[in-house]
A = this chain, B = another copy of it.
Amino acid sequence: MATGLPEPEPLRALIDALRSLPGVGVRTARRMAYHLLQHDPEGARHLADTLQAAVGELRHCERCNSFSQTPLCTTCQDPARDPAVLCVVETPADQNMIESSHGYKGLYYVLMGRLAPLEGVGPDQVRFAQLLQRASDGQVKEVILATNFTAEGETTAYYLADMLRNQGLTVTRLARGVPSGSELEYVDAGTIAWALAERR
């Protein structure tokens, strides 16, 4: 970091704290701090309040592991959901994307991570035992693996498929193929290869 002006302490502390946001370096943090102080002090106060509230009030749903204000989240409590299908995702953001497709009516399990041996994240860190217990409730018949199609997501799916099939569960994976609305000319070769291999 280029050290220039001796910044007033509260400003320096704020810039430093903003760097705890993912993808925010010192330059962006400084820009954010100046913006809030100069143009949006009300927004800054509001952000402070919502941060406190979120950290204080949110917990993990006891069944699906996603964020919730109550012991069981609204999705897990919803009687209209099909308890026989369980969709496993890496993060609440992924869960949110699947919900926004309006194509799924079962329940979820959020791993809050994925296997990443290179980063020291193994089956214990992602609490696979908890998922195994959840999937063995006698109601779940099918587990849909919706981890990312990255190296780590695929490894996680592979590992989970093995583990869950041993429990006599049906295990499926999100279809891989050409994205909806895309032109073949601009799709990468790996995707085309998969779309060919999994044609139907």
B4 contacts A99, CB within 8 Å? Answer: yes
Chain A 99-143, CB-CB to B under 8 Å as 1, else 0, gives: 111000000000010000000000000000000000000000000
Q: Can you list 18 A-B pairs, Cβ within 8 angstroms, ordered by A?
A: A2-B100, A4-B100, A5-B92, A5-B96, A6-B74, A8-B58, A10-B56, A10-B57, A10-B58, A11-B54, A11-B67, A14-B51, A18-B47, A20-B43, A21-B47, A30-B96, A36-B51, A45-B55
Closest to A97 in B: B4
Give bound CA distance, A68 to B47, whole Å.
Answer: 22
Give bound CA distance, A134 to B38, whole Å.
Answer: 21
Give bound CA distance, A50 to B69, whole Å.
Answer: 25
Oligomeric state, in number of copies? 2
Chain A, interface size: which category? 35 or more
CB neighbours (8 Å) of A54 from chain B are 10-11, 13-14, 33, 36-37, 44
Near B by CB (< 8 A), chain A positions 1-38 give 2-11, 13-14, 16-18, 20-23, 28, 30-38
CB neighbours (8 Å) of A34 from chain B are 67, 91-93
B36 contacts A68, CB within 8 Å? Answer: no
Q: If A6-B74, A11-B67 touch, does A45 touch B52 (CB 8 Å cutoff)?
A: yes
Consensus secondary structure, chain A interface = helix
A98 at the interface (CB under 8 A from B): yes
CB neighbours (8 Å) of A17 from chain B are 43, 46-47, 49-51
Give bound CA distance, A99 to B2, whole Å.
Answer: 9
A73 at the interface (CB under 8 A from B): yes
Give bound CA distance, A43 to B192, whole Å.
Answer: 43
A82 at the interface (CB under 8 A from B): no
A75 at the interface (CB under 8 A from B): yes
